[in-house]
Chain A
Amino acid sequence: MTAALSTLRTPWRRVALGQWLVAALLAAVVVFLVVGSLQSSLFLQQTISGLANGGIYASLAVALVLIYRATEVINFAQGAIATFTTYVGWQLLAWGFHYWPMFALTIALAFVGGFVCELVAIRPVERRGNVLTVVIATIGLLILLEGLIGRIWGNEVKFMPSPFPARIYHLGGAAFSLQDLGTIGISIAAVVVLWLFFRFTKVGLAMRAAAVRPAAARLVGVRVSWMLSLGWGLAAALGAVSGLLAAASPSVLLQPSMMDGVLIYAFAAAVLGGLESAAGAVVAALLIGVLLSLLSSYVSWVTPALLLPVAFVLMLVVLLLKPTGLFGRTRVRKV
């Protein structure tokens, strides 16, 4: 009640200014990208491939946001879960499955796997611990899963085929690979399906209620702890999409540490988006993908080793201006 009142009392100009700044920034970025793409076909190509990478980051970032929103826990194991399920997909292919049936089955298995992870590893910790204890448990889960991958499939690199034909389309001097376009399409579709689920189904509503007001949700009959398990399942399924798409990309090899890099940028995207906003995470992930792609092709002093530090410095600058991310709400701090 006090918090709500003090939000009302905040001068409207301060709230609005931050949002205007963000909107102006995004509009400027879009204009920059469109103008650049019209000017140069190389720019357009780099933008498209950046968006494809951004799509991969986006699905993992939304998975992180999903769990963060429910429990305020950053799930360090999210990348390892995604890698594990990608290996499961590889195994299914090796057993003779076709690609798309494998894709569907892997996502279903990932859902079950995420559900079980929450049940076995997180719930016993959550019962008595605080947020930090649960975070440490997810780090334990990360170490365990990476170890299991090495134990079952070995540490050497595996080859994962791509579902998209290696054809290149030419449009006005720019070359598009079906790989990039397909990656963008599938990752955006996965996020949209998830949004529809949360918006229009009863279970989705129950999950949102459990995340926002656990006590009140419990009073109206929502089984909050099951909603958390369900959230982990959905996050793992989304992570599986990200992992399968990443492995399909020609520049990424299937190995136990495959998703480490993706997880880092997904973290960055989730934070930049404000941690509680899935839409913010998607926008930030796409921005990061494009930024990395353009930086590495246009700025000569940014070597591959410097890409990550430079990206993080830019992220820090944005966060210094807006400490709760682009779409995050400013919180009132109380004693």
Chain B
Amino acid sequence: MRPRAASWFGAAAAAAAAVAIALLPLTLSDYHRSQGALVAVYFVAILALDIVTGYTGQISIGHGAFMAVGGYTTAILLHHHWWTSATGALHTIWTLPAAALVGFGAGLVVGLPALRFHGVYLALTTFAVALAVPQLAKNYSHFTGGTQGLSLPAHNGLWLYRLGWIVAGVAFVFAWLLLRGRTGRAFRAIRDSEVAAASSGVTLALYKTLAFGISAAMAAVAGSVYVLVNNFVNPDVFGLTLSLYVLIGAVVGGLGSLWGVLAGAAFVQLLPIGLTSGPLASSEDVPVIFGAVVIAVMAALPLGAAGFVQTALRFASRTRQSSTTP
């Protein structure tokens, strides 16, 4: 497929996906709409992880921590009424940029040690951050409500669904614009070889911390929406499980592909729900089946859904070429 044709194909697929996502809530119940909003939350979080891990090659196991930072920013601003005396929808939405800003700061702080660590050491540093942040929330309880948590005003499913997917759309376009240009090229150069990137004039320190900052800001916004959907936050909401699920989603979707993100988000959020509502499995069986499916997917599609589609497309175009040329 020629590049021009591929970009048209991509644009058409994006439009189709956007229309499908916009029309879907009409057929859903309120509960399923809020589940749909959670798919959007995972979409944004996995997209964020994909920027730093898939495109820049810096493995993070700690994106739950950045989600926690964003979630708590929104929750504290709304709960303590520091933001505004009214609790209107508009004011709720304005906490998202605030969360992004705080998340960006947190990402820079984590990104700085990342300059010195590589591979597994970096992965374990981010893992440590993921474990430490909920503990901090537990300790400083006069802001965060401690283990009790904070509860927030509830919203209906349709509003949450729209909020989630508008945020997801904005994040997607932002990521696409970021990654197609100079910055994205620098990120990919770092991923492919740090030494080669540095000798071609890419400032490693700048772009690595930038990747962490942007990724963390996006994850923080995902965390805000997550808290709004649950209308509740406590340290357990952002436990290690969340970070691991985001990582699973990113790898199952396919690292380094914006399209895989949607598949990954649907996988981690919808598969457990689908299993519970099906006739075959009780809720106790869900983790067992989910874990087994994760292993099976990794065995069958080591490059994730995106890698699978890419291989299939390449195969298709090769057979077409060989049939047209004599």
Residues of chain A whose beta carbon lies under 8 Å from any beta carbon of chain B: 68, 72, 74, 76, 121, 124-125, 127-130, 132-134, 136-137, 139-148, 150-151, 260, 264, 267-268, 271, 275, 303, 305-306, 308-309, 312, 315-316, 319-320, 323-325, 333-335
Contacts and interface: CB of A to CB of B under 8 A. Distances in A.
B312 interface: no
Per DSSP, chain A at the interface is: helix
B124 interface: yes
Most chain A CB atoms below 10 A, which of B240, B285, B299 = B299
6 contacts: A121-B295, A141-B291, A143-B290, A147-B291, A267-B127, A320-B113
Nearest to B193: A335
B281 to A, nearest CB: 11
B113 A316 contact: yes
B128 interface: yes
B11 to A, nearest CB: 30
B196 interface: yes
B247 A136 contact: yes
Contacts of B286: 147
Given A125-B299, A137-B295, A140-B298, A74 B124 contact: yes
A195 B132 CA distance: 33
Contact of B195 (A127, A134, A141, A335): A335
A144 B131 CA distance: 21
Contact of A136 (B120, B193, B294): B294
A151 B298 contact: no
B117 interface: yes
B298 A137 contact: yes
A230 B196 CA distance: 39
Contacts of B127: 267
Contact of A141 (B135, B199, B240, B295): B295
Contacts of B113: 316, 319-320
Nearest to B240: A260
Contact of A267 (B124, B138, B196, B302): B124
Contact of A306 (B139, B196, B255, B302): B139
Interface of B: 59, 113, 116-118, 120-121, 123-125, 127-129, 131-132, 135-136, 138-139, 193-196, 199, 240, 244, 247-248, 251-252, 255, 284-288, 290-295, 298-299, 302
A75 to B, nearest CB: 12
A129 B302 contact: yes
Contact of B291 (A144, A275, A323, A335): A144
A136 B248 contact: yes
Given A143-B291, A143-B294, A323-B117, A312 B128 contact: yes
Contacts of B251: 132-133, 136
A147 B247 contact: no
A150 B285 CA distance: 9
Given A142-B291, A147-B284, A264-B131, 4 more contacts: A124-B299, A125-B299, A140-B292, A143-B290
Contacts of A305: 135-136, 138-139
Contacts of A275: 120-121
A312 B132 contact: yes
Contacts of B124: 74, 267-268, 271
Contacts of A134: 298
